[in-house]
Structure 1
Amino acid sequence: MEFLTFCAQDLESVLKSELSGDLEEVLLALLDRPSVFDAKQLRSAMKGPGTDTELLIEILCTRTNTEIYYLRKAYHAVFDRHLEEDLRSETSGDLEKLFVALVQGNRDTGFITDPDRAEEDAKNLYDAGEGIWGTEEFVFTEVLARRNNKQLCETFKAYERMHGSTIEDVIKSETSGHLRVAYMTIVHCAKDCQGYFAKRIYHSMKGAGTDDSTLIRCIVSRCEIDLGTIRDRFNELYESPLAKWIEDDCSGYYKKVLLNLIL
């Protein structure tokens, strides 16, 4: 393992000295273990003036408990810092509470659904949102950060059946800003995680210019998980092959690397 670590570090130095730009970024990303890559992305989002909250949301609201566990360990190992402490210092209010709840890794990891719990959660969400003046965000955080994805989907169905509104409409009317984006990300991933990443990739290339960092991050972070399914979902949602978008938006060896990853 020490030999492999040495080789990776040596290769990283060579790549940094010989390459630049997007090609360097994607190849360096591929050298890291997924947890280390995520840790570096989070540190970059919080280091220096300002915080890239959208990046924090993309990673923290989409990772599994196991991925969060190894991410926290990698963050401490690489930076000698505690992820939860940095999140508390860089974010605030209800968004901070959501992020902390997510990195504490208390989400149910099972696949079993409980219809009674779904109806109870749906009622609690209504009582904390549409059913009162104002919003009790901690109730939304409690449900969205702790239930497994199948259970969340049952809760969303129960809410619409009991109260006539989709959970997306409720979140849009009851919250705002980055908290709204974070809640919507959790909902989107519970329903269609591959669709969420397909959308992120699409918007990274849509319009003038390309958000290459987001494109690289989404492709590299999912390439050993579900990138093939994300590619197929992209093709379905946007009625155009992801490969063609990359062909049109990227160039050179950078383009070749991305195409090899998605094929």
Structure 2
Amino acid sequence: MATLTVPPVLTSPRDDAIQLYRAFKGLGCDTAAVINILGHRNAMQRNLIQQEYRAMYSEDLNKRLASELRGNVERAVLLWMHDPATRDATTVRKALSGDIIDLKAATEVICSRTSTQIQQFKQIYYAIFGVLLENDIEFRASGDHKKLLLAYVQTPRYEGPEVDRFMVENDAKALFKAGERRLGTDEKTFIKIFTERSRAHLAAVSHAYHNTYGNSLKKAVKKETSGNFEYGLLTILQCAENPGKYFAKVLHKAMKGLGTNDSTLIRVIVTRSEIDMQYVKAEYRKKYGKTLNDAVHSETSGHYRTFLLSLLGPNH
């Protein structure tokens, strides 16, 4: 469930475009006005505002935003202006080919998305950047991590709730044999099962594994694998079992200790607020004993804080 709040009585996209234009005029930008509008419009509304703005002022709204805003609020608002598939495509492209290669960010986005979402953002990836996602993965990732990502972006997976019990038991057994039961690890089996099975099926495998072998599949993955390969497998597994809990953990890590990992904070809040942020917030509160809004409030400031909190909705 989304946390984005849209006003009950909406101004027209044309009026929004006029208000934004006014906010940009004069000395300095009225950032509060920009946030107040864009932080409360859904993907379709944002798209219509962009169309109106271009028609009225012969200018790209995103380019204008980029020249008017600064720092984290600029990064967050510009990411927010994309539709989900374009957002994923640009995030992964930046993680795989930017000044700083961020394999973790690329892995998080790829391994937490459904088969359909991946197919959509792969098409956009090619359309915008003129390069196949697979080529960038091939170039940047290595070893089993690379094999996992390539298989994950190329394999269509069933997205329904039904599971085949017999197959679940077999997979649990195969994973036990491939990992805990032998010396060394048969990574091929892990890659095959984790990239070809549906979320519902993997969650059932995890349950069966625990019941049969008394150990969690998550622990087995941690024991048998390492680095980015381990991170990818755990992301797939945790998003199959409980995506809300997974993203609550990612956010907590981004804000823990000294300093805040703003790029993670922005990426997760912006990408989940129109999908399942209610669940992420509930899991966060359950696990860490305070609301996500309060955590974000204490780690951020100024317009940046206002914008993120507007996407998170009411504090509960």
TM-score normalised to structure 2 length: 0.79
Question: Which of 138, 142, 159 pairs up with 1:88?
Answer: 138
Partner Cα distance (1:178, 1:112) in 2: 30
CA displacement 1:224-255 (0-9 Å, x = unmatched): 11112211221121111111112111111111
Give the secondary structure class of the aligned counterpart of 1:77.
helix
Partner of 1:20: 70
Greater relative CO (CA pairs within 8 A, separation 6+): 2
**Offset of residue 50 of structure 1:** 5.9
Question: Which of 105, 114, 123 pairs up with 1:55?
Answer: 105
1:251 and 2:251 equivalent? no
CA displacement 1:54-98 (0-9 Å, x = unmatched): 111110110011110111011011101100111111112111111
Partner Cα distance (1:107, 1:224) in 2: 23
Partner Cα distance (2:251, 2:100) in 1: 24
Partner Cα distance (1:99, 1:111) in 2: 24
1:187 and 2:237 equivalent? yes
- Give the direction of change, closer, same or farther, for the CA distance of 1:214–1:75 in structure 2 (3 Å limit): same
Partner of 1:208: 258
Partner Cα distance (2:105, 2:210) in 1: 30
CA displacement 1:31-73 (0-9 Å, x = unmatched): 1111111111111111156631111111011001111011101
Q: Tell me the amino acid that sits aligned with residue 51 of structure 2.
A: L
Q: Tell me the amino acid that sits aligned with residue 201 of structure 1.
A: L
Q: Is the 8 A contact 1:107 1:146 kept in 2?
A: yes
**Offset of residue 164 of structure 1:** 2.5
Q: Is the 8 A contact 1:68 1:105 kept in 2?
A: no
Partner Cα distance (1:31, 1:70) in 2: 17
Partner Cα distance (2:83, 2:155) in 1: 20
Range 207-216 or range 104-113, more displaced: 104-113
TM-score normalised to structure 1 length: 0.94
CA displacement 1:180-202 (0-9 Å, x = unmatched): 11111111111110011111111
Q: Is the 8 A contact 1:68 1:103 kept in 2?
A: yes
Q: Tell me the amino acid that sits aligned with residue 16 of structure 1.
A: A
Partner Cα distance (1:208, 1:94) in 2: 32
Q: Tell me the amino acid that sits aligned with residue 128 of structure 1.
A: A
RMSD between aligned residues? 1.9
- Count of matched residue pairs: 263
Partner Cα distance (1:201, 1:7) in 2: 35
- Aligned sequence identity (%): 36
Q: Tell me the amino acid that sits aligned with residue 7 of structure 1.
A: R
Give the secondary structure class of the aligned counterpart of 2:162.
coil
User: Looking at CA atoms only, which structure, 1 or 2, has the larger radius of gyration?
Assistant: 2
Partner of 2:195: 145
Partner Cα distance (1:49, 1:19) in 2: 21
Structure 1 residue runs without a partner (length 5+): none
Partner of 1:227: 277
- Give the direction of change, closer, same or farther, for the CA distance of 1:91–1:258 in structure 2 (3 Å limit): same
Give the secondary structure class of the aligned counterpart of 2:183.
coil
Question: Which of 161, 167, 179 pairs up with 2:211?
Answer: 161
Structure showing the higher helix proportion among its residues: 1
**Offset of residue 132 of structure 1:** 2.2
Q: Tell me the amino acid that sits aligned with residue 253 of structure 1.
A: H
Partner of 2:91: 41
Partner of 1:133: 183
